[in-house]
Structure 1
């Protein structure tokens, strides 16, 4: 059995706080959009479509905040997950953040628009969305952090939160209709919302423990 290592490299407290705060604000904005734009059925309409409503700027802001949250989490983790799984996870997390930022910049097309009639903005948004594999990154990074003695005390919470996001991602993919026909009864929108909100659990676990380690190092 490989002995866990203790990584005492500095942790960015600012990045940890930013990751948590932007993640929380993202969820708050997303929740508010359900009230501000009730015309979008949350069971089968994607959250991206909120950008098509009267408060579309809030959806752009929310995606931007989520991207910042993921990038900040990566900054916190990069000095702590020093093995192959961690490096791969950080690359995937970075790609996911870039994809989310692309989704923030470009407006999606309505679900009623076919792929043949998709606009440039809609195509770019779709590309950005398909780059988001945060659950895979979270799982790989959790395995990497579990080998760091300083993170072993929360390894169960890391694996539980990362595992939940991964399972929900699989369930979300299974909800996508093969014929591309979305409508009432297709729960892709609901699973998509649960999936993206679940990111916050893992981000908060990472951020809060990083702040704890930072305080311990400062006291030491």
Structure 2
């Protein structure tokens, strides 16, 4: 019990601000992404990736959105670090950190249009793809949720944490299934739609963790 109280205090002193930052960053990411659907309607959301918004007139908004997503991931990792005490949890944190690095890389380098053949990929497009492939936030979410659920202060959120993490895992699998083996994308290939479901599922889990951590910080101050 004493150890758990120390961990909650640590969250209150350093984690609450990062928890709030993750919530704000996640909300702004959704706002920017939603706006890009209206500002750049030439990218069909059913089969064009969100990364391609960086190719349009408002590309800077997509770069900013990627930065906000990475900020949300890093903020959550810092917030929950004092509460991780299992190997599973630490592995999840490492994966979340790698995912954030991948998102940063994807945000720096502009993707190639989805219609470009892998053989004709540019350096920027290749680097973007490498960054995107490093993002395994759903796996991190599941491992971290299993670890946090062992603590009394997180146990009331066990069902919500695990459900949201599993939804993200399912979304990731459905997205992977949509990727054509020959690499030929086009209307009818719903990779874009499932990719959007995946990113929203990631944001949902990050936000859930951030909100509960914020509540823990507030209750400790009281």
- TM-score computed with the length of structure 2 as normaliser: 0.95
Matches of 1:19 and 1:56, distance apart in 2: 23
Q: Following superposition of structure 1 onto structure 2, how do residues 1-220 of structure 1 map, counting pairs within 5 Å?
A: 6=4, 8-9=6-7, 10-11=10-11, 12-219=15-222
Question: What number of residue pairs does the alignment pair up?
Answer: 216
Is the CA contact 1:7–1:80 (under 8 Å) kept in the aligned structure 2? no
How far is 1:117 from its partner?
A: 1.2
How far is 1:28 from its partner?
A: 0.6
Q: SS of the residue aligned with 1:149?
A: coil
Is the CA contact 1:7–1:148 (under 8 Å) kept in the aligned structure 2? no
How far is 1:6 from its partner?
A: 3.5
Matches of 2:49 and 2:93, distance apart in 1: 27
How far is 1:217 from its partner?
A: 1.7
Q: Runs of 4+ in structure 1 displaced over 4 angstroms? A: none
Matches of 2:118 and 2:48, distance apart in 1: 17
Matches of 1:34 and 1:8, distance apart in 2: 45
How far is 1:7 from its partner?
A: 5.5
Cα RMSD for the two superposed structures? 1.3
Indicate the structure with greater helix content. Answer: 2
How far is 1:77 from its partner?
A: 1.0
